[in-house]
A and B are shown apart, each in its own frame.
Chain A
Amino acid sequence: MKIVVPVKQVAALDDECELLGDGSGVDPDGLEWELNEWDTFSLEAALALREAAGEGEVVAITVGDEEAEEGLLSALAKGADRGLRIWDDELAGAAPDALAVARVLAAAVGRESPDLVLCGVQSSDAVNSATGVALAGHLGLAHVAVVKGLERDGSALTVERELEGGLVERLRVALPALLTIQTGINEPRYATLRAIKQARQKPLELQTLADLGLDGAQVASASGSRRRRLAPPDRGGGAEMLDGSIAEVAARIASLVKERLG
């Protein structure tokens, strides 16, 4: 069983991040990078399926610059068998949107002919929830989004989707397929120091757009959006500072809650 896990190295955004002066993005200075939280769950799901099958291969793929290699190494350390990073000067200029990334991934994933593709539901920095399902579209794969439960049943999977209001939809999906995995579906493992060292010995390939038979124009034409400007929201009113003893503050909070609830 061959499982491809597309992953993303994301910026750890906290309240101290700053926007570039022209609003074109987040100032990369001082940002710290980490593997997208959702991808740790999709990777764990892939590793668990491979282990349960007793055979197979888990391939981690990412689109990103050198910083993204750390994310792949992290996936390799946790147990992925090999890694593929796709980067190209043509991608460095204009940051590709989720649909463009899906187009690039489609070229790479297609060549792998996997039995299963496991994406995270979303990335914690861009929060589009689009890459996975767009990738399924490009590949013509059956897909299920926001999966919170997963069991293999021969050549098919039984999956549970998380819906609004606590509803769960249970589906049976024939392979090959693409799932986007929700956090909490499993307990992602961590890599030991030895596994982190050994990850550097695992195959990690770098490919350009040309290697995948793509060019910049094809990628650009796949884009569905253009980022015009990032700006912090206007500061709203309505905050009230409460002073006084603990009992006074508690009483005031209680009365405010009652007032607002009507």
Chain B
Amino acid sequence: MARDPKHDILFEPIQIGPKTLRNRFYQVPHCNGAGSEKPGMQAYNRGMKAEGGWAGVCTEYCSISPESDDTSRVSARIWDEGDVRNLAAMCDRLHDFGALAGIEMWYGGPHAPCMETRATPRGPSQIPSEFEINIHPRHMDEDDIVEVQQMYVDAALRAQEAGFDIVYVYGAHSYLPLQFLSPFYNKRTDRYGGSFENRARFWKECLEKVREAVGDDCAIASRFAVDTLYGSSGIQVGEDGVRFVEYVDELVDLWDLTVGDIAEWGQNAGPSRFFEENHEKPFTGQIKAGDHTNKPVVGVGRITNPDTMVAIIKSGQFDIIGAARPSISDPFLPNKISEGRLDDVRECIGCNQCISRWEIGGPPLVCTQNATAGEEYRRGWHPEKFHPAANRDRGVLVIGAGPAGMECAMVLGKREMAAVHLVEAGKEIGGCVNWISLLGHSDGKENLARGTARGLGEWTRIVNYRQIQLDKLTNVEVHTGSKLSAQDVLDYGAEIVIVATGCHFATDGLNPATHAPIEGADASLDWQLTPDEVVAGTKTIGNRVLVLENEGYFMGASVAQKLAGAGHEVHLLTQMGDIAGYMEYTLEAPMLHRDLHRLGVNIRPYTMLEKIEPGACHAYNVWHEAHKEVFEVDTVVLCTQRQSNDELYRELKSDKRRLQAEGIENVFLIGDASAPRMIVDSIFDGHRLAREIDSPNPAMPLPFIRERRLWGEASNDDYRSQLLNTPDVVVA
């Protein structure tokens, strides 16, 4: 299909300083867990986006000195020749596919705890980080200022040597240059503090020195939070926001604009449950609209809709469409728009699982929508290419069309299996997504700082994308409303059977805190519910509700939010120190807490139930069991733990001779049916099995390339010999 002419504007080249971006798609700096120490992953993860049409692709934040060490979170580093060599691999790969390479030079100040390097971070004033624990910076005198500015220059020269085309002086998210600019951090009274010009001096001098060093050859970019959302105690867009852009505009070739800071950067990487597409427009949109810059501007806001992109450019909001998450979810977004293949776009769902793994510190990034994210190098997976399976003459039966089953059937279809039947007991495909996507909203009131509790509706994109792909695959049949017994499966005539039957919530209170059921817990009663029953609306819910949340992710809190929003009086108990702990990693927690607090939900951490009786839940403090409390409620929601629906699998496996007699070579168990997990991991599980369905033992994942240092002499071939065997990813 041809591109829709209305999208042509997205493919017009644009000049940034001495460089030209081939189109308006730009991967802004974002973390991926590769840094400088997994050069293969770094090169192939970023390179996939260049292959998919992005014009500019950046590193994550890249430390310029051992004084800026964010361990255990993974940043890139450009400290020495070794880092130059490793990041050059990324630059080369981007250039091979026609993209420009950007590096985001970063000095964190008090936000870099230096736990690996044991160095002392320097900052404008000696005030500890607002989110790191007990990290005080050293107050910088003027010699320190000159020294740190030289670190930017030296790093820029190394970046130039590595092959970078775009060099950032990174201030946004409240790192050192912005710490000088913002009175929230800068309490100085010398010529680097006080007045606007004094506070802007450090950043301005950095830009001057970096431009002087590499500006003839590289485009100079700056990432700037036009509003740190702290009111008059920080940067406000109408004040220092526009003032700073105007003040240093001549020194910058590209403005990369954001909102907020790192302490609550969910205001920037807005999760879909609180922020809609292009949510930063009211802030970042003011810079060009108010004619405060003569330079190209890139901005973000989980923008996946090409019509939104066109409107952004035509209206003068931005010149370039920035993306972090949408580029992870679909590295081929630009090419798909260019080819008019909009129904093939894998839209980001805004779950922020990608971010969560960086926040945890260490793991590679993951993506709910794109199971190949981060696996391009180590497993040789390509998001758009699927080599035919060696055993493609086999017929496959996939039972259960939830996240794992849909993904598995789709990938098996793309691997050209002779026939894939995806059989679902429910009326629709989608599995748990169909009811989970109805959670997360409250009463619709827009009083949550910048966002509102929009719910998890965008998560239905998980189903939409797969449904469209499954429809297109002529070797895949999807049958709904059909619950198969073990006998049905044996009679089905498939050589390969994959069980993806999902899971259910425990009805007896079995939980991770006590590893035992709770006395009196029984969700077969009409006043005790599992979370899915809350959504289904099959039981009457009383005015006073207790939600027991033992999972630590979104479920219990989302149920509390929904019920409190509907006017119920809600107690939310957890055995942990906070409810929904994982939502700290997905950046959803601050907004969630605002909403729960506003709704009057009674949050009780470190609290567990010992007994449930009609009208009364008996609780205790987990650190002091004698400290008891009785909650008088009408309804109890048990969000304790989940259990696999694996009866069908066990029954099939119990008679191996029968399987053999029916011509069934193998029975696999994937997703929640194997072990309940997050949707991102269920989809990965289904994808992994399909990618390796022709391996010697598909139930066991193949080894992947580990980019650890090999002792003694080593060459790249020692690492990538496996990659050379996977034909989907082009090896340079």
Chain A residues within CB distance 8 Å of chain B:
16, 32, 187, 190, 192-198, 243
Whether A192 lies near B491 (C-beta < 8 A) is yes
Residues of A near B311 (CB, < 8 A) are 243
Residues of A near B488 (CB, < 8 A) are 192
Chain B residues within CB distance 8 Å of chain A:
1, 311, 395, 397, 419, 421, 474, 477, 479, 481-482, 488, 491-494
Residues of B near A187 (CB, < 8 A) are 481
Residue of A nearest to B662 (CB): A194
Residues of B near A192 (CB, < 8 A) are 421, 488, 491-493
Whether B482 lies near A193 (C-beta < 8 A) is no
Residues of B near A190 (CB, < 8 A) are 477, 479, 482
Q: Given A16-B1, A32-B474, do A196 and B481 touch, yes or no (CB 8 Å)? A: no
Whether B493 lies near A196 (C-beta < 8 A) is yes
Whether B1 lies near A193 (C-beta < 8 A) is no
Q: Which of A187, A190, A192 has the most CB of B within 10 A?
A: A192
Residues of A near B491 (CB, < 8 A) are 192, 194
**A–B complex contacts, Cβ < 8 Å, 18 sampled:** A16-B1, A190-B477, A192-B421, A192-B488, A192-B491, A192-B492, A192-B493, A193-B395, A193-B397, A193-B419, A193-B492, A193-B493, A193-B494, A195-B493, A196-B419, A196-B493, A197-B493, A198-B493
Residues of B near A32 (CB, < 8 A) are 474
How far apart sit A190 and B491, CA to CA, in the bound complex (Å)? 14
Whether A194 lies near B493 (C-beta < 8 A) is yes
How far apart sit A190 and B419, CA to CA, in the bound complex (Å)? 14
Shortest Cβ gap from B392 to chain A (Å): 14
Residue of A nearest to B482 (CB): A190
Whether B492 lies near A194 (C-beta < 8 A) is yes
Residues of A near B419 (CB, < 8 A) are 193, 196
Shortest Cβ gap from B667 to chain A (Å): 15
How far apart sit A173 and B691, CA to CA, in the bound complex (Å)? 56
**Among candidates A193, A198, A243, residue contacting B421 with C-beta atoms closer than 8 Å:** A193
Residue of A nearest to B394 (CB): A193
Shortest Cβ gap from A90 to chain B (Å): 31
Shortest Cβ gap from B571 to chain A (Å): 34
Residue of A nearest to B1 (CB): A16
How far apart sit A216 and B421, CA to CA, in the bound complex (Å)? 42
Residue of B nearest to A190 (CB): B479
How far apart sit A211 and B481, CA to CA, in the bound complex (Å)? 43
Shortest Cβ gap from B470 to chain A (Å): 14
Residues of A near B494 (CB, < 8 A) are 193
Residue of A nearest to B495 (CB): A193
Shortest Cβ gap from B621 to chain A (Å): 45
Residue of B nearest to A34 (CB): B474
Further 5 A-B residue pairs, CB within 8 A, beyond A192-B493, A243-B311: A190-B479, A192-B491, A192-B492, A193-B419, A196-B493
Residue of B nearest to A245 (CB): B276
Residue of B nearest to A194 (CB): B493
Residues of A near B421 (CB, < 8 A) are 192-193
Residues of B near A193 (CB, < 8 A) are 395, 397, 419, 421, 492-494
Q: Which of A32, A194, A196 has the most CB of B within 10 A?
A: A194
Residues of B near A194 (CB, < 8 A) are 491-493
Q: Which of B1, B474, B493 has the most CB of A within 10 A?
A: B493
Residues of B near A195 (CB, < 8 A) are 493
Shortest Cβ gap from A75 to chain B (Å): 15
How far apart sit A195 and B421, CA to CA, in the bound complex (Å)? 13
Shortest Cβ gap from A100 to chain B (Å): 30
Residue of A nearest to B397 (CB): A193
Residues of A near B395 (CB, < 8 A) are 193
Residues of B near A196 (CB, < 8 A) are 419, 493
Residues of B near A16 (CB, < 8 A) are 1
Residue of A nearest to B489 (CB): A192
How far apart sit A32 and B472, CA to CA, in the bound complex (Å)? 10
Residue of B nearest to A197 (CB): B493
Shortest Cβ gap from A32 to chain B (Å): 7
Shortest Cβ gap from A187 to chain B (Å): 7
Residue of B nearest to A32 (CB): B474
Residue of B nearest to A33 (CB): B474
How far apart sit A32 and B475, CA to CA, in the bound complex (Å)? 12
Shortest Cβ gap from A124 to chain B (Å): 16
How far apart sit A195 and B482, CA to CA, in the bound complex (Å)? 16
Per CB-CB distance, the 4 closest pairs between chain A and chain B, nearest first, are A194-B493, A193-B493, A193-B395, A192-B492
How far apart sit A190 and B493, CA to CA, in the bound complex (Å)? 13
Residue of A nearest to B490 (CB): A194
Shortest Cβ gap from B482 to chain A (Å): 7
How far apart sit A198 and B491, CA to CA, in the bound complex (Å)? 12
How far apart sit A203 and B482, CA to CA, in the bound complex (Å)? 28
Shortest Cβ gap from B674 to chain A (Å): 23
How far apart sit A194 and B479, CA to CA, in the bound complex (Å)? 15
How far apart sit A3 and B350, CA to CA, in the bound complex (Å)? 54
How far apart sit A32 and B474, CA to CA, in the bound complex (Å)? 9
How far apart sit A196 and B488, CA to CA, in the bound complex (Å)? 15
How far apart sit A198 and B311, CA to CA, in the bound complex (Å)? 56
How far apart sit A195 and B491, CA to CA, in the bound complex (Å)? 9
Residues of A near B479 (CB, < 8 A) are 190
Shortest Cβ gap from B184 to chain A (Å): 31
Residues of B near A198 (CB, < 8 A) are 493
How far apart sit A28 and B395, CA to CA, in the bound complex (Å)? 29
Shortest Cβ gap from B138 to chain A (Å): 48
Shortest Cβ gap from A152 to chain B (Å): 25
Residues of A near B492 (CB, < 8 A) are 192-194
How far apart sit A194 and B474, CA to CA, in the bound complex (Å)? 18
Residue of B nearest to A241 (CB): B307
Shortest Cβ gap from B451 to chain A (Å): 14
Q: Which of A187, A193, A196 has the most CB of B within 10 A?
A: A193
Residue of A nearest to B479 (CB): A190
Residue of A nearest to B418 (CB): A193
Residues of A near B481 (CB, < 8 A) are 187
Residue of A nearest to B315 (CB): A243
Shortest Cβ gap from B341 to chain A (Å): 11
Residues of A near B477 (CB, < 8 A) are 190
How far apart sit A187 and B479, CA to CA, in the bound complex (Å)? 11
How far apart sit A198 and B419, CA to CA, in the bound complex (Å)? 14
How far apart sit A190 and B1, CA to CA, in the bound complex (Å)? 32
How far apart sit A197 and B393, CA to CA, in the bound complex (Å)? 13
Residue of A nearest to B311 (CB): A243
How far apart sit A194 and B397, CA to CA, in the bound complex (Å)? 11
How far apart sit A126 and B494, CA to CA, in the bound complex (Å)? 36
Shortest Cβ gap from A228 to chain B (Å): 30
Shortest Cβ gap from B696 to chain A (Å): 24
How far apart sit A198 and B663, CA to CA, in the bound complex (Å)? 14
How far apart sit A190 and B492, CA to CA, in the bound complex (Å)? 11
How far apart sit A16 and B2, CA to CA, in the bound complex (Å)? 12
Residues of A near B474 (CB, < 8 A) are 32
Shortest Cβ gap from A211 to chain B (Å): 32
Shortest Cβ gap from A128 to chain B (Å): 27
Residue of A nearest to B423 (CB): A190
Shortest Cβ gap from B476 to chain A (Å): 12
How far apart sit A32 and B482, CA to CA, in the bound complex (Å)? 26
How far apart sit A32 and B492, CA to CA, in the bound complex (Å)? 26
Shortest Cβ gap from A190 to chain B (Å): 5
How far apart sit A192 and B662, CA to CA, in the bound complex (Å)? 13
How far apart sit A196 and B395, CA to CA, in the bound complex (Å)? 11
